[in-house]
Structure 1
Amino acid sequence: MRVEIWTDINCPWCYIGKARFEQALAAFPHRAEVEVVHRSFELDPNGPRDARPVIPLLATKYGMSLEQAEAAEARIAENAHGEGLPYLAGRRDAANSFDMHRLLHFALEHGRQSELLDVLYRANFAEERSAFGADRLLELAVEAGLDGGAAGAVLADPEAYAEAVREDEATASAMGATGVPFFVLDRRLGVSGAQPAETFTRALEQAWESRVPTPLIQVGAAGDAAGDAEACGPDGCELPQR
């Protein structure tokens, strides 16, 4: 069974959702027969390439004060900490993520995609230093176990793996995905947002037990009993309620 996960490094709910999904997957009896592939989804394809502090960006996007943006970021940090994830609230940057996605496709070819994704998430949400910029991305690629020369060549060529990124985004659009994280099991069952681990457990069990060609069913979509879960979309990331 294949699980495809559409994400963006700028999305805190993708960071949290990955941890919740992996918790469910670790306890799944057929874990060894599940292939996980991470797909590209840019929250802001036209975003600036230079990294900018996230708090002013949140304030502008949501029309709130800097203090309110700081409080919202702190609540997301609480959710991350609840999953055992490090998170430096308010001390991260945001920028165009296209190069990150290109590198993730390169890493997939070399069997290091999950490792690179973990390194990128940690750098973006848990470290003081920005995760953006070609030099920094090269360092992170090497840290994930990739060859520095080959990774540098990918970063130097703006068309390297660019089509693969665009194909992922087109597929997500065709499936009706408007935000991330978005999990698709065998192209038949969809799970939207950073759902609780129990929801991912049910989705894995349902997909495994019904492995016949059927239309895509969304778990966690509007009107579904599972309810909506936090996600990030082109207009921003949902903020946890008090």
Structure 2
Amino acid sequence: MRVEIWSDVACPWCYVGKARFEKALAAFPHRDQVEVVHRSFELDPGRAKGDSGLVLPMLMRKYGLTEDKARAAEQNLAQNAAAEGLTYLTEGRDHGSTFDMHRVLHLAKAHGRMDTLFGILYRANFAEERSVFDDDERLVELAVEAGLDADDVRKVLADPAAYADDVRADEREAAELGANGVPFFVLDRAVGVSGAQPAEVFTRALTQAWDAKPRLATVAGGEDGEVCGPDGCAVPQR
């Protein structure tokens, strides 16, 4: 069975959703027969390289929040992450274009290291203070940690066309499947799961997909199925 996951490095619910899915997959009886494939999705595809900024002012601007409410929203996300054993910094993080990251992720895919690099990029973005945006050598360093060759990564970063078509193809396919937010999971092209659903929803989806349903059906999830989309990420209120 093949599971495709559309996500973005800048998406906090993708960070949480990956952990929840992996928890369900670890307990799935047929987990050794499940192939996981990551697909690209930029939350802000028109954003220029070099255009980065702190997360809290972005939340205040995008959602019209006061600084106190923006901080509370980040604290709630941190609590969701902590429940999955993840570290989530609520202060000092920035955000920016992820296009180069996705291009390097496709290089990692060619070497069988895409899942590893996704995990490293999530950790670097959400759990570490040093920025992953607009610093090519930082990205090279993280890719090397995932097992890639530094010179190969630098060549990709130096060529704006390298793997660009692969990123755009993933994004077009997401649109064709009706995904307007991430994380978005497609299991064997039979079952779709939208959002960072609880692990039990992923367990149900894996079981349903294993039965080889003939068409894509969206699994209705619980209230924890938050997503990030072009207009931003769901801001938890609880």
Q: TM-score range by the shorter chain?
A: over 0.9
Report what 2:160 is aligned to.
Answer: 158
Report what 1:215 is aligned to.
Answer: 215
Query: What is the CA–CA distance in structure 1 between the aligned matches of 2:219 and 2:223, rounded to whole Å?
Result: 8
Q: Per-residue displacement from partner, 1:66-107 (whole Å, max 9, x unpaired)?
A: 221111111101100011001111321100100011111110
Query: What is the CA–CA distance in structure 1 between the aligned matches of 2:176 and 2:72, rounded to whole Å?
Result: 35
The percentage of aligned residue pairs carrying the same residue is 62
Greater than 6 Å deviation, 4+ residue runs: none
Query: What is the CA–CA distance in structure 1 between the aligned matches of 2:87 and 2:199, rounded to whole Å?
Result: 18
Residue 185 of structure 2 aligns to a residue whose secondary structure is strand
Report what 1:180 is aligned to.
Answer: 182
* Residue pair 2:198, 2:222 contacting (<8 A) in 1 also: no
Query: What is the CA–CA distance in structure 2 between the aligned matches of 1:172 and 1:146, rounded to whole Å?
Result: 27
Report what 1:112 is aligned to.
Answer: 113
**1:14-25 paired onto structure 2 within 5 Å:** 14-25=14-25
Candidates 190, 209, 229, aligned match of 1:233: 229
Report what 2:13 is aligned to.
Answer: 13
**1:1-242 paired onto structure 2 within 5 Å:** 1-50=1-50, 51-132=52-133, 133-209=135-211, 211-212=212-213, 214-220=214-220, 226=222, 229-242=225-238
Query: What is the CA–CA distance in structure 1 between the aligned matches of 2:208 and 2:118, rounded to whole Å?
Result: 27
Gaps of 5+ in 2: none
Tell me the amino acid that sits aligned with residue 78 of structure 1: Q
Query: What is the CA–CA distance in structure 2 between the aligned matches of 1:227 and 1:131, rounded to whole Å?
Result: 31
Query: What is the CA–CA distance in structure 2 between the aligned matches of 1:47 and 1:90, rounded to whole Å?
Result: 23
Shift of 1:236: 0.7
Tell me the amino acid that sits aligned with residue 111 of structure 1: G
* Residue pair 1:14, 1:194 contacting (<8 A) in 2 also: yes
Residue 171 of structure 1 aligns to a residue whose secondary structure is helix
Shift of 1:228: 6.9
* Residue pair 1:8, 1:40 contacting (<8 A) in 2 also: yes
CA-atom RMSD in angstroms = 1.2
Gaps of 5+ in 1: none
Distance 1:206 1:239, change over 3 A: same
Distance 1:228 1:89, change over 3 A: closer
Query: What is the CA–CA distance in structure 1 between the aligned matches of 2:126 and 2:110, rounded to whole Å?
Result: 25
* Residue pair 1:77, 1:89 contacting (<8 A) in 2 also: yes
Shift of 1:226: 4.8
Tell me the amino acid that sits aligned with residue 54 of structure 1: V
Q: Per-residue displacement from partner, 1:151-174 (whole Å, max 9, x unpaired)?
A: 111111111000000000000000
Query: What is the CA–CA distance in structure 2 between the aligned matches of 1:153 and 1:199, rounded to whole Å?
Result: 41
Q: Per-residue displacement from partner, 1:191-230 (whole Å, max 9, x unpaired)?
A: 0000000000000011002x25x2210113xxxx656710
Distance 1:226 1:127, change over 3 A: closer
| TM-score, normalization by structure 2 | 0.96
